[in-house]
Structure 1
Amino acid sequence: MDKAGIFTGGTGGKWVWEGNELFDAHTNPIALVRSDVLLVGEQRLLIEYSPGPQHFVVRATSVDGTLYRVSQKGFTVSQLEGECDGRHYALNRNRWWSKQRNIVNDWGDIVATVNPLISGRVEVLDGPAIDDVPTLDLVFLTWALVLVDSPVRQTLT
């Protein structure tokens, strides 16, 4: 299984979403979103996005039928839950006044920290459990957080 530990082997790696493109720390492209399709190498996810004032849901389906989902857990978007092919994640804001979130796996380990910037860029910093998550999971989860938290987002079609 392809794992997301492609950052820098525990030395503090970073990915950055700029618009609809995801880059690694060396500005190499990792993923791209075009016309509601998330492209990660040869993999494709069809994205369905349902924003609403009281309910946030992002769903995706791979070519082979694998399902991915991020949804609102309560009355606000401060607590989100993700499921990627049966793997569960919590995507909760670190503080009530901040949009920074930790992505946490089922065992309570931090996979990554996601930090939306005022510029519209969204940084993804590796966490201690980064090597335990499939790359496609992390790309999908972080794209869902771009949709809900990024202050400036220009989607390309």
Structure 2
Amino acid sequence: MHEREGIWTWSGNDLIDQQGGIVASVISDVIYLGEERLLIESSPGPWHFRARATTGEGEVYTLIQNSLSVARLSADCVGRRYTLERTSPWRKERRILDASGAPCAVVTPRVSGKVEVSDAVDYAPLPLIDAVFLSWGCVLVDSPVRRPRV
């Protein structure tokens, strides 16, 4: 990912880098990433998951379930397309793949409720804002424990 090394972790509603600094936070369905704000709307229904984020400039990010299961999700980040697929039918870990199928990152939910984000081996670049939105989408759909903060 751009501007990132090592493992980052979603702990509650904060994305924390390897040094313990807060990269992004989610408060009242808004992702705060530096000066950027993304308003999040999600519908985690029993048959269909969908998340959408809109920036202050009107740019749209979407993450959707295309089949009966959430094993494979499709994303569009302002025209940049990704697939988020589970690495195994028995695990919630996901690989984020770019439009060419190259791996960009791995997102791993933990039993504690924390969600780790790490670079894939021989990873393709992933813009920071895309990484934050996509990994938060994984928190919404895959995390065993979710602690929303209002």
Q: Which residue of 1 aligns with 2:133?
A: 140
Question: CA offset at residue 74 of structure 1?
Answer: 0.7
Count residues with an aligned counterpart: 149
Task: Answer yes or no: is 1:150 the counterpart of 2:147.
Answer: no
2:7 is the counterpart of 1:30 = no
* 1:129 equivalenced with 2:118 (yes/no): no
Q: Is the 8 A contact 1:7 1:25 kept in 2?
A: no
Shift of 1:5: 2.4
Residue 19 of structure 2 aligns to a residue whose secondary structure is: coil
Equivalent residue runs for 1:1-157 within 5 Å: 4-8=1-5, 13-127=6-120, 128-130=122-124, 132-157=125-150
State the secondary structure of the residue aligned to 1:53. Answer: coil
In the TM superposition, what is the alpha-carbon distance from 1:116 to its structure 2 partner?
A: 0.1
Distance 2:78 2:4 in 1: 22
Task: Measure how far apart 1:108 and its partner are.
Answer: 1.1
Structure 2 alignment gaps of length 5 or more: none
Q: Does the CA contact (< 8 Å) of 1:102 and 1:112 recur in 2?
A: yes
- Report the Cα distance in structure 1 between the residues aligned to 2:88 and 2:123, rounded to whole angstroms: 21
Name stretches of at least 5 consecutive residues in structure 1 with no aligned partner.
none
Q: Deviations over 1:87-114 (max 9, x none)?
A: 0000010000100000000111111000
Query: Deviation of residue 125 (structure 1)?
Result: 0.8
Identity of aligned residues (%): 45
Q: Which runs of 4+ in 1 moved over 4 A?
A: none
TM-score when scaled to structure 1?
0.92
